[in-house]
Amino acid sequence: MPLQNDLILRTARGEFVERTPVWLMRQAGRILKEYREVRASVGSFKNLVQTPELAAEVTIQPVDILGVDAAIVFSDILEIPQAMGLPYEMVEKRGPIFENTIETVADVEKLIIPDPETELGYVMEAIRLTKKGLNGRVPLIGFAGAPWTIFAYMVEGSGSKTFSKARRMLYTDPMTSEALLQKITDSTIEYLKAQIKAGADMVQIFDSWAGILPPDQYQEFSVRYLAQICHALPEDVPVTLFAKGAFFARQALSQLNCQTIGLDWNMDILESRRIIGPAKTLQGNLDPCVLYGSPETIQEKTIEMLDKFRGSRHIANLGHGVYPDTDPEKVKVFIQTVKEHTMKF
C-alpha cells in the first residue's frame, strides 16, 4: 500500500517537503476520551497492549481525531524486559512495578533474548493490523526503549526520581552492568527488526532517563549501545534517537547512524543545530505545558519554535510526551498551527 502522506519519512531523509510534519509523543493515550473508553472495556493498560485489534484501534485514533502526520504503535517500552523474563505491573497513579529485579550476573544470565514473533507476537500483530487500518494514510512509527532506560527499570524495579539503585550498579559492578546492557541491546535489535518486518515505516528509540547520567557514563553505558542498534537496523528505515535531558550528548549522537535526533524543551534550537550540524533532522521541542495555555499562547509559542527551525530539516513535536490532562482541542491548535504556518515557508 503506497503512502498518501509520507511527509515525515521524507523529512527524516532530508528530502524536500511541502510543509513540516507533526505528531506528538504519547499521542495514543489518556488525553483522548475515546482511548479511555477502549481501555475501560478491557480493564487494564496491559490487556489493551496485548489485544492487537484494540491496540491497533487506539493507535489510529489520533490520526482520525487530531490529524497527526504519523501513528505510533500502541505498546510500551517495558514489553522488552517483560519478554526477557522480568514481568511488570502497571499500577494506576504509581506507574510500572517489577516483582523481580536484576542484582547479580546470575540474574542477567537467566534472562532470555526473546524471539519477537512469538514472545512479542502481540506487538507484531498490532503493527500488521494498524497498517491495514491506516490503509496508507500516514506512516507508522515503531519504537523501543534505549538500553540504558530499560536497564534503569530492570535494576530499580520501578520509576524513581533518582534511579540511584540503577546508577549505583554502574559504579559497583560495571561488568554486570555491561552484560545486562548488551543483552538488552541484542533483544532490542531483534525486536526493532521484527517491527520493521511487520510494517513499521520508521522507528524511535526513547532514552527517557538519559539526563540523569554524567557525560562520561552516558557515553560508556548508553551511546555505545545506541550505536550498535543504529548500525544493525536496515539502511532504508529512518531511525530517531530521543535522549531526554542529554544536552551534553548532542554531539556524540550526531555521529551515529540515525536520521533524526529529538530535542527536549530545555535544549536551545539554534545551539542544537550548531552542535549537531545540518546532516540530521531535528524533532521537537515545544514545552508540553504550553498546551495548558490559551489558543493564542499556543499559536504564538508554536510559531516562535517553527521559525527557529525554519530552513532546516524539522519534525514538529513536543519536547516530551503530551501530559494526560491536556485538552485535545489545545492539541489541535498546535497541530493546525504547524500545518498552516509551515505551508508559507
Task: Give contact residues for ligand CP3 (rule: CB under 6 A).
Answer: 25-30, 39, 45, 72, 74-78, 90, 95-96, 143, 159, 206, 208, 321
CA 15 to chain centre: 22
Q: What are phi and psi of 285, to 5 degrees?
A: -145, 40
Catalytic member of 19, 30, 128, 137: 30
Q: How far is the CB of 114 from ligand CP3 (least distance, A)?
A: 18
Q: How far is the CB of 261 from ligand CP3 (least distance, A)?
A: 15
Catalytic member of 13, 19, 36, 76: 76
What b-and-e string marks burial along 304-315, b requiring 16 or more CB atoms within 10 Å of the CB?
ebbebbeeebbb
Q: How far is the CB of 242 from ligand CP3 (least distance, A)?
A: 8
Catalytic member of 153, 191, 218, 225: 153
Residue 140 or residue 223: which is nearer to ligand CP3 going by CB? 140
Residues 156 and 270: their CA atoms lie apart, in Å, by 36
Task: Provide the 3-class DSSP secondary structure of residue 251.
Answer: helix
DSSP state, 325? T
Q: How far is the CB of 36 from ligand CP3 (least distance, A)?
A: 8
Residue 89 or residue 300: which is nearer to ligand CP3 going by CB? 89
Q: Give bridge partners of residue 158 from the DSSP assignment.
A: 97
CA 89 to chain centre: 20
Residue 14 or residue 95: which is nearer to ligand CP3 going by CB? 95
Residue 23 or residue 309: which is nearer to ligand CP3 going by CB? 23
Residue 95 or residue 295: which is nearer to ligand CP3 going by CB? 95
Would residue 26 show up in a list of annotated catalytic residues for this protein? yes
Q: How far is the CB of 32 from ligand CP3 (least distance, A)?
A: 10
Residue 13 or residue 26: which is nearer to ligand CP3 going by CB? 26
Q: Look up residue 152 and give its three cell numbers.
A: 534503569
Q: How far is the CB of 206 from ligand CP3 (least distance, A)?
A: 4
Residue 77 or residue 169: which is nearer to ligand CP3 going by CB? 77
Cβ atoms of 188 and 226 closer than 8 Å: no
Cβ atoms of 30 and 44 closer than 8 Å: no
Cβ atoms of 134 and 71 closer than 8 Å: yes
Would residue 153 show up in a list of annotated catalytic residues for this protein? yes
Catalytic member of 10, 35, 39, 250: 39
Residues 85 and 130: their CA atoms lie apart, in Å, by 27
The Cβ of residue 44 has, within 10 Å, a number of other Cβ atoms equal to 13
First-residue to last-residue Cα distance in the chain: 30
Would residue 30 show up in a list of annotated catalytic residues for this protein? yes
Strand ranges, E, within the chain: 71-72, 88-91, 95-98, 140-145, 202-207, 239-243, 260-262, 281-286, 314-318
Q: How far is the CB of 13 from ligand CP3 (least distance, A)?
A: 22
Catalytic member of 19, 26, 36, 137: 26
Q: Look up residue 236 and give its three cell numbers.
A: 532504508
DSSP string, 78-133: THHHHHHT--EEEETTTEEEESS---SHHHHHH-----HHHHTHHHHHHHHHHHHH
Would residue 313 show up in a list of annotated catalytic residues for this protein? no
Which residues are the active-site residues? Answer: 26, 30, 39, 76, 153
